[in-house]
Structure 1
Amino acid sequence: MSQSIYDVHNVAIYLRKSRGDEDVDLDKHRDELVSMCEKNGWSYVEYAEIGTGDSIEARPKMQELLQDVELEMYDAVLVVHYDRLGRGDKVDQATIEKTFAISDTLIITPQKVYNLNDESDMMLADFQGMIARQEYKSIARRLRQGKARATKMGNWCNGKPPFPYIYDRESKKAVPDPKKLEIYRMMVDWALSGWSSTDIAWELNKLTIPSPRGGLWSPQVVRRLLLDEVHLGHIVVGKKKKIVTTGAIITKPKTEWVVYKNCHQPVKTEIEHNKLQFLFQREKVTPHASRAGKHAFSGIIKCGKCGHTLQIQKRSDRPYDNLKSCTYRDHFGTRCTNVGGNMSQIESAVRAAIEQKKEELEEAIRKGIDLEDRRVLYDLLEKKLAEIKKIENRLSNLTDMRADGEISKEEYVLKKAEYESKLRQCEEDYRVIEKQIDHTEQARNEDMLATVKDVIHVLDHEKDAKALNRAYKSIIHNIIWERDQIDEKPKVTINFL
């Protein structure tokens, strides 16, 4: 059908650079469509997308264009090919067709004019949309296959590499940038020395070191970088998948990820990575007020009866601060009976335990034996296993309740998703503790002794509460305090990492 029979004056030019297109392709498309406008005397407004996805949701310029078309701002929209408007799912295609049909706006290509209120044009548009979607799926599949082959060869194909890596075009690999690597290693050393992710972020901002995106550092960015397996020399793919029916992107369980090892230069060791996972897991369950390290023992003193973190009361009128009695109440409102005490009792017990640890390590080195107390880690492992079994029982009971008609399908689906999410997290925590046990088995007594000596040096020369708190956290998992009566001697147990 000739475009001359239509009354066209004001048009929109829509340009989209698809995956794999060159910038020059976009310029050619622009020149061709602008030439059409000039030839026909049409005034035009340009809408251009660069590097966008196939769905309308991922294309802001397309969303803007559809809003303007709905307002009947144009007589027609010019595109090089019909599929430039979209290769999305049927819902996207229906949205485009409905918007153009209701507003009575034409779609003009160099080959044809589409009037979506004309039945034959509508059928042709549907057919071309179907072909475009199939073509897009084929291209996407070939790209995924090519990316998988390149990744197996150790090439970096996941966009911009994470800090401190940069992409080397010659080798097609991720390589560490020397200046950024120095900063990253400083972050690792701080974390292994007991610094929290918040402390690290604050210090980097004070040093005016920009974040990977050129702004300020946040604790979340610090944790994500320090826990990223890419820094072990790995490339991880298959973290997410797209649900075809809804278009939703979901994160797959870690057990389903594909990891290619030894692809590029690592910037941390497996032992460092395992300890970082363990330290940040501990930080995750530490109360926010305790993470600030306002006291030398903030966040590491636990109740020996209920396991909750105990609070420290600063006393300016006395030589020592007070450890407050446990305030936790159970589901029946019954308060924990653990009584607090004088912080000097904890300070002396911890110092004695660290000195004893130093002597034990020195003796073990002299005798050539391995020394490592992993009891606390095995206790944690047992508790986590019990938690996993508890969630599995809840899932089983939930299934029975659904089978008996005690809960609706909607409630079952929501609860099931909640329990499965908790189960995946517990299983991941379990693997982290297992790795930390492996780490302690691999750790050399000489390395452990050096760390203990560093802590003793800090205790002898440092007065700042935050610095002392970091030192304690670098070697101590927790301190267990238990006391029944105020006139009784407390039981203090120090559990080392």
Structure 2
Amino acid sequence: MSNVLDKAAYLKGIKHVGIYIRKSRLTGDLDEKETLAKHRTELVNFAKENKLEHTIFEEVVSGGKSDNRAEFNRMLNLTALEVYDALVVINWDRLTRNEADGARLTKTLRDSETVVIQLNPFEIIDLNNDGDVDKTSFMTFFGAWELRQIGRRNRAGKVRAALAGKWIGTVPFGYSRNHSTGFLEINEPQAEVYRRIVEMFLSGMTPRTILYTLNVENVPSPKGGEWNDTVVRRMLVDDVYTGTATFGKAKYIDRKIKKDKPRDEWIVVSNSHPAIIDEAKHNEILNNFDARKRINGRAQHGKHALSGLLICPVCGGALHFAKTPRGVWIRKCATVDAVGNRCANTDKGVAVAVVTEAIANQLEKHKATLLNPVKDTPDDKEKIDTKIKKIQADLAKMDKAAERLLELYEFGDIERAVYNERKARRLEKRAGVERQLAELYERANKNTTAAERIKAIDAVVEAIRNNDGSAEHIEKINKGLQRIIEKIIYHNDGEELTLDVHYN
């Protein structure tokens, strides 16, 4: 009780507080949930003992990252609205170890005249006091330095563990991690599936045929669902199954940007764990892939005029082509599902030359619609641009008003029914404004877009009509069509050819 009395004078005038609890993923002192519970108990007890109304903001995230600190950002937004008299934390570095966040935090606290109550050691920090500003700037700088040191120690620890044979990262299919030692052990049921995949591949089956077989038999994939082509291929070429552990293939510039590292910088540990197959078998797999790649490379004839454009009307899959003595023809849809069932489309094949001519005729008709006179003069276009800017500003104001409305509801200033009614009216009004903006964009772009599209149509139609069959000419047609057309849904029942052209 004396602890409360000692602090009472410092807490005078403070009634509403935000409690921020953060556990860093980089530290390894206690389990995340255990640490959060410990801090929460201490902070909440402090608020209750001192009769402080409180809101809890809690998350597990590094203090050096601001882009994924949802609770921290939410708390700062509410602090800027002067909701709290103080923020309560175990220690200042729970708030930030990031200098950019530190500057933002300082500005928010100063503008809202909100203080920070630090419990360990107990201190009231007022950012409108120059001495406290200097002190917190140093604490933020030191926190950022300490965070970098933790990161370095963490990475070094992972490297030492990897060199000692302990597994770092996701456990590969076919293995289990021994939680006591950190080493990989063979998961025999999964290992047997992997050995079977290897034998099927070396017997001549393709990865696609292998995955169909496994899916038909309901064999669970590494994630427990259906197998796919990529998973089978990666497992076959992965040297982890020879007992080799490879780490540090890439580094993250931040959580979103991954950069591959040169092979000579990788950490490769041989005989790191029990092997499921030997080196000879793994080399046989790699040689088999190389041989198939060479065969497939010779079998390919390059791009066709309609590559990447024709779509099956039944399954939505891409249609492919075959070179025949009569020229290049469109093949029947060959798309198959996860267990090998072929698409039910019964469309007939037809020569690509026939389809490209039909497309040229459709492009000529489409061109006629673009040749309609455009009413907007250059002066009108300037007015349209002005209107667009005004509507964009109006939409930004609407978004801010919607945020304020939500805040009123969250703070209990308005009832749910009132909030829903106002929100519905705002959404309806916003939808109308967005339609106006879309129409203005269309009018603003109409002149230049039409001229450019007409020019592109003329070029590709001329290329189709003068096709000499050379690879360069075919590539020119394909690029021209791709520039104008998003996709073509192709249907040919043997009597009538239908092309549903979707333009970009």
TM-score (norm 1): 0.53
Cα distance between partner residues in 2 of 1:94 and 1:178: 55
2:163 paired residue among 152, 158, 175: 152
Whether 1:86 aligns to 2:100 is: no
Equivalent in the alignment of 2:60? 50
Whether 1:22 aligns to 2:30 is: yes
2:240 paired residue among 230, 255, 259: 230
Equivalent in the alignment of 1:12? 19
Cα distance between partner residues in 2 of 1:334 and 1:171: 58
Where do 1:113-128 residues align within 5 Å? 113-128=124-139
Q: Secondary structure at the match of 2:471?
A: coil
Whether 1:142 aligns to 2:153 is: yes
CA contact (8 A) 1:13 1:44 kept: no
Name the amino acid aligned to 2:129. Answer: D
Equivalent in the alignment of 1:481? none
Q: Secondary structure at the match of 1:217?
A: coil
Whether 1:189 aligns to 2:199 is: yes
Percent identity reads 29
1:178 Cα shift? 1.1
Segments of structure 2 that go 5 or more residues without pairing to the other structure are: 1-6, 308-320, 333-348, 354-467, 477-504
Whether 1:221 aligns to 2:231 is: yes
CA contact (8 A) 2:63 2:97 kept: no
1:333 Cα shift? 5.0
Q: 1:46 to 1:226 in 2, by over 3 A?
A: farther
Cα distance between partner residues in 2 of 1:232 and 1:82: 49
Cα distance between partner residues in 2 of 1:96 and 1:282: 60
Where do 1:66-81 residues align within 5 Å? 66-81=76-91
CA contact (8 A) 1:311 1:323 kept: no
CA contact (8 A) 1:87 1:129 kept: yes
CA contact (8 A) 2:21 2:36 kept: no
Cα distance between partner residues in 2 of 1:93 and 1:278: 55
CA contact (8 A) 2:251 2:258 kept: yes
Q: 1:12 to 1:170 in 2, by over 3 A?
A: closer
Q: 1:201 to 1:247 in 2, by over 3 A?
A: closer
Q: 1:164 to 1:48 in 2, by over 3 A?
A: farther
1:208 Cα shift? 3.0
Where do 1:317-396 residues align within 5 Å? 329-333=470-474
Q: Secondary structure at the match of 2:219?
A: coil
Cα distance between partner residues in 2 of 1:67 and 1:225: 47
Output the aligned Cα RMSD: 4.2
Deviations 1:402-436, CA, capped at 9 Å, x for gaps: xxxxxxxxxxxxxxxxxxxxxxxxxxxxxxxxxxx
Equivalent in the alignment of 2:277? 268
1:280 Cα shift? 5.6
Name the amino acid aligned to 2:173. Answer: F
Name the amino acid aligned to 1:46. Answer: I
Query: Mean Cα displacement is larger for which, 20-29 or 220-229?
Result: 220-229
1:262 Cα shift? 0.8
CA contact (8 A) 1:97 1:116 kept: yes
Equivalent in the alignment of 2:452? none
Cα distance between partner residues in 2 of 1:145 and 1:138: 10
Relative contact order, CA 8 A, sep 6+: which one is greater? Answer: 1
1:264 Cα shift? 0.3
Deviations 1:163-206, CA, capped at 9 Å, x for gaps: 12111123321112111112222233333344444444444333
Q: Secondary structure at the match of 1:170?
A: coil
1:8 Cα shift? 3.2
Cα distance between partner residues in 1 of 2:260 and 2:160: 22
Deviations 1:377-425, CA, capped at 9 Å, x for gaps: xxxxxxxxxxxxxxxxxxxxxxxxxxxxxxxxxxxxxxxxxxxxxxxxx
Cα distance between partner residues in 1 of 2:29 and 2:101: 22
Deviations 1:96-147, CA, capped at 9 Å, x for gaps: 4344444444332212233334332222111011111222222222232232
Cα distance between partner residues in 1 of 2:248 and 2:148: 18
Q: Secondary structure at the match of 1:4?
A: coil
Cα distance between partner residues in 1 of 2:264 and 2:473: 39
Cα distance between partner residues in 2 of 1:86 and 1:284: 52
Q: 1:257 to 1:58 in 2, by over 3 A?
A: farther
CA contact (8 A) 1:52 1:58 kept: no
Cα distance between partner residues in 2 of 1:262 and 1:87: 40
Cα distance between partner residues in 2 of 1:190 and 1:331: 41
Q: Secondary structure at the match of 2:223?
A: coil
1:106 paired residue among 97, 115, 138: 115
